[in-house]
């Protein structure tokens, strides 16, 4: 039930965005920059973004050598280069918009650990460098085996180390907090704890039914255009979209005295990733170890994956070094048959950007720009 005042000032908007993750907030920013006088509302069902935007490991990922080679098994060279360019442009836009200091962006080095079974990937470094040169304007990868000892990795498992010259790291919490602040400074309204029950498109508007949990009622909000930016949870609103959910589990250790690591690291086609942060090691991934069980929207952690993460720490990353786990958590990502995101006009007044394949930090800002650019002024 609305009051007179609420009907006058609180329920009708030019644009409503569902989802307050990096894509949703970036879409709101793009809309306010393109249409400064437009009213923009972002709604989020959780107190914090529900998917992976605040639950990732803070990687500004461009793609490792083995990951890109794996992508080329299902995608053309042109598609892989285009995806790499989206990541590069998205990261540049994010840094330009918010500032490196604000988001904790650093270039402490990015490396991929190569096992015995992956050693043939070294032969493809020059091929990938030439393929990506038009986008990156420099060699994207180089062999740096001399650093294996300095990082303290187990050389029984690690046979080579490849540097990725175009990746960085950031502080996920600072980045998302800064993005929220930036959006609100532009005049974007953000409402959290709001569940979208359904939406109905009419000739001149979209009616979005929002659940008011306080009094357990559903209230209609209207907008001229609706944007669905719910990534892994998109099928709840758009059931025909091709999306597979994937859980990414993470753990972080207590500070480790004398830790040799610095920067960010990848293993096993990008399925594992770890980094140093404040003298700790943060490691995530491993869903390939139990792909069916990890194809889920449940945020819980499992012994299977957490044990695998600790196994990587114990046997490869920190051999002979004692550590204590400080915290464990999980985030939900969205995948498809390939890693191309879906950026589309769903119908006359409904648009969507989702299925970012675990690369939302790097790609999210640019995907939002792609989503908003075609909208007529």
Residue 249 falls within a domain, yes or no? yes
Give yes or no for a contact between 264 and 169, defined as CB atoms under 8 angstroms apart: yes
Query: What's the pLDDT tens digit per position in 233-261?
Result: 999 999 999 999 999 999 999 999 999 99
User: Is residue 31 pLDDT above 90, yes or no?
Assistant: yes
User: Is residue 365 pLDDT above 80, yes or no?
Assistant: yes
Neighbours of 292 (CB within 10 A): 7
Residue 63 falls within a domain, yes or no? no
Residue 159 falls within a domain, yes or no? no
User: Do 223 and 180 share a structural domain?
Assistant: yes
User: Do 289 and 210 share a structural domain?
Assistant: no
Give me the mean pLDDT over the 276-280 stretch.
Answer: 96
Q: Which two tokens stand for residue 29?
A: 């920013």
User: Do 235 and 199 share a structural domain?
Assistant: yes
Residue 365 falls within a domain, yes or no? yes
Residue 191 falls within a domain, yes or no? yes
φ/ψ of residue 214, rounded to 5: -65, -40
Alpha helices in the chain (DSSP H): 4-9, 22-34, 65-71, 77-98, 100-103, 125-136, 148-151, 172-185, 291-294, 303-312, 360-372
User: Is residue 51 pLDDT above 90, yes or no?
Assistant: no
User: Do 229 and 180 share a structural domain?
Assistant: yes
pLDDT at 4 (0 to 100): 87
Residue 152 falls within a domain, yes or no? no
User: Do 298 and 251 share a structural domain?
Assistant: yes
Helix axes of 172-185 and 77-98: crossing angle, nearest 10 degrees: 70
pLDDT at 335 (0 to 100): 94
pLDDT at 170 (0 to 100): 96
User: Is residue 52 pLDDT above 90, yes or no?
Assistant: no
Residue 79 falls within a domain, yes or no? no
User: Do 317 and 197 share a structural domain?
Assistant: no
Query: What's the pLDDT tens digit per position in 75-126?
Result: 999 999 999 999 999 999 999 999 999 999 999 999 999 999 999 999 999 9
Side-chain half-sphere exposure of 184, counting CA atoms within 13 A = 9
Give yes or no for a contact between 30 and 42, defined as CB atoms under 8 angstroms apart: no
Residue 255 DSSP label: P
Q: Measuring CA to CA, which residue among 331, 272, 342, 329 is closest to residue 61?
A: 272
pLDDT at 354 (0 to 100): 96
pLDDT at 215 (0 to 100): 75
Neighbours of 278 (CB within 10 A): 9
Q: What is the CATH number of the domain that holds 195?
A: 3.50.50.60
Query: What's the pLDDT tens digit per position in 62-79?
Result: 999 999 999 999 999 999
Reported as a pLDDT band with limits 50, 70 and 90, residue 205 is very high
Give CB contacts under 8 A, 24+ apart, made by 75-80.
Answer: 75/338, 75/339, 75/340, 77/131, 79/338, 79/340, 80/131
125-155 core/surface letters (b: 16 or more CB in 10 A; e: else): beebbebbeebbeebbbeeeeeebeebbbee
Query: What's the pLDDT tens digit per position in 6-30?
Result: 888 889 999 999 999 999 999 999 9
Four-point Cα dihedral 109, 110, 114, 120, nearest 10: -110
Report the percentage of the chain scoring pLDDT > 70: 100
pLDDT at 377 (0 to 100): 72
Give me the mean pLDDT over the 201-209 stretch.
Answer: 97
Give me the mean pLDDT over the 292-318 stretch.
Answer: 96
User: Do 307 and 265 share a structural domain?
Assistant: yes
User: Is residue 340 pLDDT above 80, yes or no?
Assistant: yes
Q: What is the CATH number of the domain that holds 312?
A: 3.30.9.10
Q: Which domain holds residue 264?
A: 244-335
Residue 121 falls within a domain, yes or no? no
* Neighbouring residues of 80: CB distance < 8 A, sequence distance ≥ 6: 68, 71, 72, 131
User: Do 309 and 178 share a structural domain?
Assistant: no
User: Do 255 and 325 share a structural domain?
Assistant: yes
Q: Give the chain's domain count.
A: 2
User: Is residue 224 pLDDT above 80, yes or no?
Assistant: yes
- Could you tell me how far CA 150 lies from the centroid of its own chain? 30
pLDDT at 213 (0 to 100): 74
Q: Which two tokens stand for residue 303?
A: 């012994």
Query: What's the pLDDT tens digit per position in 124-175?
Result: 999 999 999 999 999 999 999 999 999 999 999 999 999 999 999 999 999 9
Task: State how far the Cα of 284 lies from the Cα of 275, in Å rounded to an integer.
Answer: 9
User: Do 191 and 309 share a structural domain?
Assistant: no
User: Do 368 and 235 share a structural domain?
Assistant: yes
Task: State how far the Cα of 259 lies from the Cα of 279, in Å rounded to an integer.
Answer: 6
pLDDT at 9 (0 to 100): 85
Give yes or no for a contact between 372 and 34, defined as CB atoms under 8 angstroms apart: yes
User: Do 230 and 187 share a structural domain?
Assistant: yes
Give yes or no for a contact between 184 and 190, defined as CB atoms under 8 angstroms apart: yes
Report the percentage of the chain scoring pLDDT > 90: 90
Q: Which two tokens stand for residue 171?
A: 């502080």
Phi-psi region of 262 (alpha: psi -120 to 50; beta: other; left: phi over 0): beta
């Amino acid at each position: 039930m609305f009051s007179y005042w609420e009907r006058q000032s609180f329920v009708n908007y030019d644009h409503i965005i569902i989802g307050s993750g990096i894509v949703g907030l970036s879409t709101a920013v793009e809309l306010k920059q393109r249409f400064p006088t437009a009213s923009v509302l972002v709604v989020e069902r959780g107190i914090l973004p529900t998917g992976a935007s605040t639950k990732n490991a803070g990687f500004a990922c461009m793609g490792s050598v083995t990951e890109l080679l794996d992508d080329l098994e299902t995608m053309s060279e042109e598609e892989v280069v285009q995806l790499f360019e989206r990541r590069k442009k998205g990261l540049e836009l994010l840094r330009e918009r918010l500032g490196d200091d604000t988001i904790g962006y650093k270039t402490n080095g990015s490396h991929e650990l190569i096992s015995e079974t992956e050693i043939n990937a070294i032969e493809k470094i020059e091929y990938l460098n030439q393929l990506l040169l038009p986008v990156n304007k420099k060699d994207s990868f180089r062999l740096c085996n001399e650093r294996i000892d300095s990082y303290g990795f187990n050389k029984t498992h690690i046979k080579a180390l490849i540097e990725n010259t175009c990746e960085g790291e950031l502080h996920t919490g600072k980045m998302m907090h800064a993005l929220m602040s930036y959006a609100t400074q532009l005049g974007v309204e953000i409402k959290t704890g709001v569940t979208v029950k359904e939406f109905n498109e009419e000739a001149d508007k979209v009616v979005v039914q929002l659940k008011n949990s306080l009094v357990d009622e559903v209230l209609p909000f209207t907008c001229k255009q609706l944007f669905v930016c719910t990534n892994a949870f998109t099928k709840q609103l758009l059931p025909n979209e091709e999306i597979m959910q994937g859980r990414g589990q993470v753990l972080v250790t207590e500070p480790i005295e004398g830790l040799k690591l610095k920067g960010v690291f990848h293993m096993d086609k990008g399925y594992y990733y770890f980094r140093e942060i404040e003298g700790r090691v943060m490691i995530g991934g491993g869903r390939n170890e139990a792909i069916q069980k990890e194809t889920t929207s449940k945020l819980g952690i499992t012994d299977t994956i957490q044990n695998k993460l600790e196994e990587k720490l114990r046997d490869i990353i920190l051999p002979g070094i004692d550590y204590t786990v400080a915290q464990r958590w999980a985030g939900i990502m969205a995948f498809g048959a390939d890693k191309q995101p879906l950026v589309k006009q769903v119908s006359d007044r409904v648009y969507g950007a989702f299925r970012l394949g675990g690369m939302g930090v790097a790609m999210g800002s640019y995907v939002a720009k792609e989503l908003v650019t075609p909208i007529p002024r």
